[in-house]
Amino acid sequence: MSDDRPEATMRAYHLETFGTIEGIVLRDHGGPRPVPAGPTGIVVRVRAASLNKRDLLILRERYPLSAAPGVVPLSDGAGEVVAVGEAVTRVAVGDRVSCAYFPRWRDGRITPDLVDQPGCTLDGMLSEYALLDEEWAVRLPQHLTWEEAATLPCAAVTAWNALTGGEGGAPLPGQSVLTLGTGPVALFAVQFAKLLGCRVVSTTSSEEKADRLKALGSDAVVNYVSTPEWGSTVRELTDGGAELVVETGGPDTIEQSVRASALYGQIALLITASAAKSGIEISHAAYASSLATIRRVFVGSRTQFESMNRAVAAHGLHPVIDRVLPFEEAREAYRGYAEDAPFGKVVISIGA
């Protein structure tokens, strides 16, 4: 479906002041919709966008990359192509697309010249229209709603990379995967691990969340509050340890993750600092008894995004969404995401 509003105006949020949600300001740019920026440019009518932890870190100036002044926030969004440059061949008007988290990282290993990101160094998706290059675009599974599709670029690709991006490839059917907590990456990891035929053990802090994890696919759930030494419990549940740990807790959980790992397990490490600890520490006792490999994960390439989408489409997977707010309430979406510990993604709808 194309946008048939020839005089459509473009509204977009901009991060004008760091440190406060009130610094995210809605601007009406007026005039007709934008045109492609060059022969390989495309214009996307954004239908939904979603929040990630990195968006709060950018707002608070705690992200590894410095944001461009007045940048349009959010890396994650989904919409339809409404205009293309004369040299565009990868997509066509009417295609449902998202933007890759690292638009210039197509495949292989990332290098320092490929680290630009929408919503940080490049304008993001919290806008009625997004100007992209065709090489940045990723086609989306047809069965997903706009809101569901908008959840994929960051958390989902991170989980997919954690599970499938190691040198040995994805864990085999019947092997064990450990996920930590109920953040978006952990929830996607549960879904993807079950898709791969794995046994999933998860940790959480409450029986209510444990029930929701089991409904999503977790085979066993350990309460880390009542069982603070949960690493040994996971080893018992997995008959010797998890072949893969999706480590989303960083310094606060790495010790127990090592203890929960199989002898030659793999730990996909996402976070290296927390509010309480500035770095990773693993005791001699824990690591001396393990030959586990720790692999650092930072989202993934466009090729990994595309591979994940094929799996999502083939299995009819639906992301977990906690809430959807309208475009005009984007600040409330930020506030709720920061304060309410949602179970699933917080999404902003940007028009029908």
pLDDT in tens, 214-261: 999 999 999 999 999 999 999 999 999 999 999 999 999 999 999 999
Residues 6 or more apart whose Cβ sits within 8 Å of residue 201? 176, 177, 178, 179, 218, 219, 220, 221, 222, 234, 237, 238, 242
| Dihedral angle computed from the Cα positions of residues 338, 339, 340 and 346, in that order, rounded to the nearest 10 degrees | -20
The amino acid that residue 204 corresponds to is T
Whether 2 shows a pLDDT value over 70: the answer reads no
The amino acid that residue 337 corresponds to is Y
Q: How far from 55 is each of 3, 86, 146, 167, CA to CA, in Å?
A: 29, 34, 20, 30
Whether 154 shows a pLDDT value over 60: the answer reads yes
Whether 30 shows a pLDDT value over 90: the answer reads no
Average pLDDT over residues 6-26: 86
Can you state the angle between helices 184-195 and 302-315, rounded to 10 degrees?
60
pTM: 0.95
Whether 7 shows a pLDDT value over 90: the answer reads no
Residues 6 or more apart whose Cβ sits within 8 Å of residue 48? 77, 78, 79, 145, 146, 147, 149, 150, 324, 347, 348, 349, 350
* Alpha helix ranges (H) inside 73-122: none
Which residues is 236 bridged to in the sheet?
Answer: none
Whether 145 shows a pLDDT value over 60: the answer reads yes
Both tokens of 94, joined, read: 């009417």
Question: ∠ at Cα 143 (103, 210), nearest 5°?
Answer: 90
Q: What is the pLDDT at residue 9?
A: 60
